[in-house]
């Protein structure tokens, strides 16, 4: 029986033992004293005992202020490692609870599972014809990104994974005493190794390091998890709709890592080529090992299971056999299945030796050494020939892995800023002496100029070197690489090309023109990304303009008349605040879907969600079910960013659970059934949201954009500068160098810095003012009705509850003391604190709760239990920031050690709050 408290106690005891052994008993005693005081401080807060709380806070501040750098580093490391261990224990407990629930409900399905969704559709009397249509349209894809929010090194991830495996073994069965001791010793050894390993990177990672980190999860989690999800859907259909076949190719994985150029000059064509090599290398090696293993398993005698004639012909066509395969044929006579699989494994072994990067960057015309059809065709012969019990076991999984991952592992998306693409095209046009002016301010003039160029049947003769600037040459090199990789290795290597900050139809046409000149336009999905509030508002008009152009409709024909549109949750929040951004996103989705429907274009919405609620995070199942009606239709694509990847996918069982919740929600949201669908927003609800959005926007703008001293305050009262120096991502923290402005800073460090300092401002600011205004107008009953019956508004308030509960104005006030101008800091902090109090009170009033997250007691308890351990890390961070900023020389040895401790606290706070940016 799994006991979470006992697990945390065991891991905490082992950590204490490691501290004593590897550091000193005195350090362990110091850490325990800080922990006890922090816990007593929180207990006093819960009781409302302000004198005791102030006393404990003062004593903690005195201890932390007296720490030397070595002690500060060790204490920060101890609390950080403690959170890593607690997270593992909580994950193991969740797995145990899921398994217990499945056993209890069997044979009924678990809620929010794929089986439960299909069963619910059958119960609603959804016809087999409707299900077949849904399966035909089903396309679900997760996209891994390298936004710098995952603060753990790959080395640390591997060690934590080993501890998690030991924990699972420990509680999977009732161990014998000697087994218990062996497990305990294994945990002790792994925690010791973790303690003695540097947590922070010594240098900023290269893009290829980030690629390898993403592939770590592909290799260790997704490779088995995605086929398992595909099998779940096939099984659910077989039970409820046996006449409907499970679709193929509906569940895939993509990545931005190595293809996302937006603001990252480190992503070049050469880096993207190397990324494709790493992707293919993983796929080839995983399939090679799987086929080698299958060859050993399928030692079927040709006499007992005669191979079909087509297989014999296939074998004969491949003679003379490779040396190793010929040896196997001589040794294992008349074992045609082993022989066939060995040949396939040998093909992949040969393919693993090709230098894909060099081939992509040269003018070589030699294609790939092996293609996916060469593997699938003989495997299908085997599936048809062998007994069903053999085909449905490992063989079927291997076939699914080939179908899902191909020889590319994940599809690589490409992304670039619209201004960079437009500048590059304009320079190329000038270099070619084409009289096309893309500079007019009028969007329609630019669009028509591009239409005229696209209408030309004869593309210009474009050399590899165009005689343009290095920046434009690099942009052109990307399109050349895209063309070569598609020609040599297949279109499946790539996802769409995404245009950041899309402002008009001309931005999309610019990409179409460059792709056409490079010879890679056919079938290329060109995706506008709408990020700011203004762009989200303009999105339906821009798409309507595009769809009205014959030249673009002709391109859509090559894309099966499908259009993907990406909406950004991060910049819209930074632009207008939490409530205004969410309402703008909701409206944009509904209107984009309407425009696509009017033009008979098949839409896929691509959700650029982050980890925190400020960046679109939150429970995925609920978020999908809260989408506007008729915007899903079986198609769903979303980013998995930064810390959400390790939080959701570090554990195979939890990864499966998260994935099945996504697919389940997509299935349910896609079937039109007014009686079963959640309530659609009525006029009164929409009017209320419009009013609140405007008021929340005004409140947010008044603080963030219209308060000049806010920038100075933010810079001093958060670890912004230190986050910019943190070696967790290859991308710069700001889009532009020079003077710091909110409009220039990236959304991730914006959210990260406010989260670290416990303001968590982007996740709630402005909400209280908006709700209070409607309550003052006598519309509390309307708001409560919206909360109870409208999934969108319910999710909006519940996600804000999470942000408010993780915020802490007491801790935030400590960061406020870092500002040199305390009079200024007092004014800004008072405004933030007042809105925090107002938001907390209003959310509780509308929800009817007496405590935040009262409707999620497990999450609420977890946050309450974590807070006493996060607080010391915040206090140490404040003290280290104070010392660092007081130094005359910010580059000396002491400064480097201070930064090292700050990085440790950043990691620890992120682990404790289970949020970064």
Rounded CA-CA distance 759/835 in Å is 11
Token couple for 443: 């969007």
Cα–Cα distance, 542 to 547 (Å, whole number): 9
Reported as type and span, the H/E element at residue 530 is strand 526-530
d(Cα 163, Cα 195) in Å, to the nearest integer?
Answer: 13
Catalytic one of 574, 656, 658, 806:
574
Got the DSSP string for 39-66? HHHHHHHHHT-HHHHHHHHHHHHHHHHT
- Annotated active-site residue 658? The verdict is no
Q: Is 528 helix (H, G, I), strand (E, B) or coil?
A: strand
602-608 and 635-641 beta bridge pairing: parallel
Distances (CA, A) of 743 to 546, 610, 750: 28, 18, 10
Residue 458 tokens read as 């004869």
DSSP H helices in 298-355: 309-317, 323-331, 336-351
What CA–CA distance (Å, rounded) separates 913 from 854?
Answer: 18
Each residue of 404-436: b (16+ CB within 10 Å) or e? Answer: bbbbbbbbbbbbbbbebbbbbbbbbbeebeeee
User: In the structure encoding, which two tokens stand for residue 462, read together?
Assistant: 């474009």
How big, in percent rounded to 5, are the helix, strand and coil portions of the chain? 65, 5, 30
Q: Which of 147, 555, 656, 658 is catalytic?
A: 147
Residue pair 308/369 in contact (Cβ under 8 Å)? The answer is: no
Q: What whole-number distance in Å separates Cα of residue 624 and Cα of residue 618?
A: 10
Closest to 347 measured CA to CA, from 380, 384, 372, 312? 372
Residue 574 designated active-site: yes
- List, as own/partner pairs, every contact residues 657-662 make where C-beta atoms lie below 8 angstroms and the sequence separation is at least 24, other chains included: 657/94, 657/98, 658/620, 659/142, 659/225, 659/226, 659/229, 660/112, 660/113, 660/114, 660/229, 660/232, 661/112, 661/113, 661/619, 661/620, 661/621, 662/140, 662/142, 662/620, 662/621, 662/624, 662/636, 662/638
What's the rounded Cα separation, in Å, for the pair 111 and 101?
A: 10
End-to-end CA distance of the chain: 36
Query: In the beta sheet, which residues pair with residue 499?
Result: 416, 528
Instruction: Spell out the residues 6+ positions from residue 274 whose beta carbon is closer than 8 angstroms to its own.
Output: 208, 211, 258, 357
Give bridge partners of residue 530 from the DSSP assignment: 567
Displacement of CA 476 from its chain's centroid (Å): 29
Tokens representing 537?
């508002």
- Alpha-carbon distances, residue 778 vs 122, 140, 230, 689 (angstroms): 43, 43, 50, 15
Radius of gyration of the chain (CA): 29
**Closest Cα partner for 552 from 450, 459, 458, 631?**
450
- What does DSSP assign to residue 650? S
Residues 874, 909 contacting (CB under 8 angstroms)? yes
Q: Report the run of H or E that residue 566 belongs to, with start and end.
A: strand 562-568
- How many Cα atoms are found within 13 Å in the side-chain-facing hemisphere of 152? 29
Task: Kindly list the catalytic residues.
Answer: 147, 574
């Amino acid at each position: 029986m799994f006991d979470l408290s006992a697990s945390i106690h065991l891991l905490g005891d082992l950590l204490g033992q490691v501290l004593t052994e590897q550091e000193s008993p005195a350090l362990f005693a110091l850490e325990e004293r800080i922990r006890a005081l922090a816990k007593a401080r929180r207990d006093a807060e819960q009781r409302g005992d302000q004198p005791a709380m102030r006393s404990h806070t003062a004593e903690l501040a005195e201890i932390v202020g007296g720490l030397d750098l070595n002690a500060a580093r060790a204490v920060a490391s101890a609390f950080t490692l403690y959170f890593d261990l607690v997270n593992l224990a909580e994950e193991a407990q969740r797995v145990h609870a899921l398994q217990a629930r499945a056993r209890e409900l069997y044979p009924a399905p678990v809620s929010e599972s794929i089986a439960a969704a299909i069963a619910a559709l059958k119960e609603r009397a959804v016809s087999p014809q409707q299900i077949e249509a849904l399966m035909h349209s089903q396309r679900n894809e997760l996209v891994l990104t390298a936004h710098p929010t995952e603060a753990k090194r790959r080395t640390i991830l591997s060690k934590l994974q080993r501890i998690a495996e030991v924990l699972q073994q420990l509680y999977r069965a009732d161990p014998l005493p000697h087994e218990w001791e062996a497990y305990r010793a294994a945990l002790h050894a792994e925690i010791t190794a973790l303690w003695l390993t540097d947590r922070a990177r010594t240098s900023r990672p290269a893009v290829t390091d980030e690629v390898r980190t993403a592939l770590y999860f592909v290799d260790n989690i997704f490779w088995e998890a995605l086929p398992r999800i595909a099998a779940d859907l096939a099984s659910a259909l077989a039970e409820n709709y046996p006449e409907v076949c499970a679709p193929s190719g509906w569940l895939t994985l993509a990545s931005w890592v190595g293809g996302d150029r937006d603001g990252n000059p480190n992503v070049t064509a050469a880096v993207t080529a190397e990324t494709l090599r790493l992707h293919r290398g993983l796929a080839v090696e995983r399939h090679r090992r799987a086929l080698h293993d299958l060859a050993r398993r399928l030692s079927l005698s040709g006499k007992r299971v005669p191979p079909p004639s087509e297989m014999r012909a296939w074998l004969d066509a491949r003679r003379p056999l490779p040396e190793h395969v010929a040896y196997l044929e001589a040794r294992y006579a008349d074992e045609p299945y082993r022989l066939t699989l060995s040949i396939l494994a040998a093909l992949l072994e040969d393919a693993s030796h090709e230098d894909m990067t060099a081939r992509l960057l040269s003018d070589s015309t030699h294609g790939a050494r092996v293609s996916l059809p060469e593997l699938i065709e003989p495997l299908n012969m085997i599936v048809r020939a062998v007994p069903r019990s053999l085909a449905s076991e490992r063989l079927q999984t291997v076939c699914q892995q080939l179908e899902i991952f191909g020889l590319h592992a994940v599809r690589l998306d490409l992304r670039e800023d619209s201004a960079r693409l437009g500048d590059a095209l304009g320079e190329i046009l000038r270099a070619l002496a084409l009289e096309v002016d893309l500079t007019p301010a009028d969007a329609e003039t630019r669009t028509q100029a591009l239409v005229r160029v696209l209408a030309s049947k004869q593309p210009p003769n474009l050399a590899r070197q165009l005689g343009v600037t290095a920046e434009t040459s690099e942009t052109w090199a990307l399109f050349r690489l895209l063309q070569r990789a598609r020609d040599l290795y297949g279109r499946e290597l790539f996802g769409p090309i995404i245009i950041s900050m899309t402002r008009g139809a001309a931005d999309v046409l610019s990409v179409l023109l460059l792709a056409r000149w490079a010879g890679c336009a056919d079938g290329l999905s060109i995706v506008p990304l709408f990020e700011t509030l203004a762009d989200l508002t303009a999105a339906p008009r821009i798409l309507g303009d595009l769809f009205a152009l014959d030249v673009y409709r002709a391109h859509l024909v090559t894309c099966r008349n499908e259009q993907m549109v990406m909406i950004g949750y991060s910049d819209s929040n930074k632009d207008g605040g939490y409530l205004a951004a969410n309402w703008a996103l909701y409206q944009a989705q509904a209107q984009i879907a309407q425009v696509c429907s009017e033009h008979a274009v098949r839409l896929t919405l691509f959700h650029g969600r982050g980890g925190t609620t400020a960046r679109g995070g939150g429970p995925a199942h609920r978020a999908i079910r809260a989408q506007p009606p008729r915007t899903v239709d079986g198609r769903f694509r979303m980013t998995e960013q930064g810390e959400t990847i390790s939080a959701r996918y570090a554990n195979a069982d939890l990864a499966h659970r998260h994935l099945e919740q996504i697919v389940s929600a997509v299935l349910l949201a896609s079937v039109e059934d007014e009686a079963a669908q959640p309530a659609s927003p009525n006029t009164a609800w929409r009017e209320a949201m419009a009013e609140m959005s405007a008021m929340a926007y005004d409140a947010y703008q008044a603080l963030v954009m219209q308060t000049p001293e806010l920038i100075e305050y933010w810079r001093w009262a958060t670890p912004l500068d230190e986050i910019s120096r943190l070696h967790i991502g290859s991308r710069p923290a700001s889009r532009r160098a020079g003077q710091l402005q909110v409009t220039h800073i990236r959304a991730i460090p914006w959210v990260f810095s406010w989260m670290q300092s416990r303001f968590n401002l982007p996740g709630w600011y402005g909400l209280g003012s908006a709700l209070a205004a409607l309550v003052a107008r006598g519309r509390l009953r309307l708001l409560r009705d919206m909360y109870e019956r409208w999934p969108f508004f319910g999710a909006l308030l519940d996600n804000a509850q999470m942000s408010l509960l993780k915020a802490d104005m007491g801790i935030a006030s400590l960061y406020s003391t870092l500002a040199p101008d305390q009079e200024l800091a007092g004014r800004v902090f008072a405004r933030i604190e007042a809105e925090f109090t107002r938001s907390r009170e209003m959310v509780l009033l509308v929800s009817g709760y007496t405590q935040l997250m009262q409707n999620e007691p497990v999450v609420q308890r977890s946050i309450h239990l974590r807070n006493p351990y996060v607080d010391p890390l915040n206090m140490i961070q404040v003290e280290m920031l104070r010392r660092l900023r007081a130094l005359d020389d910010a580059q000396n040895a002491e400064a480097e050690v201070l930064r090292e401790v700050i990085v440790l606290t950043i990691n620890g706070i992120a682990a404790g709050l289970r949020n970064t940016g």
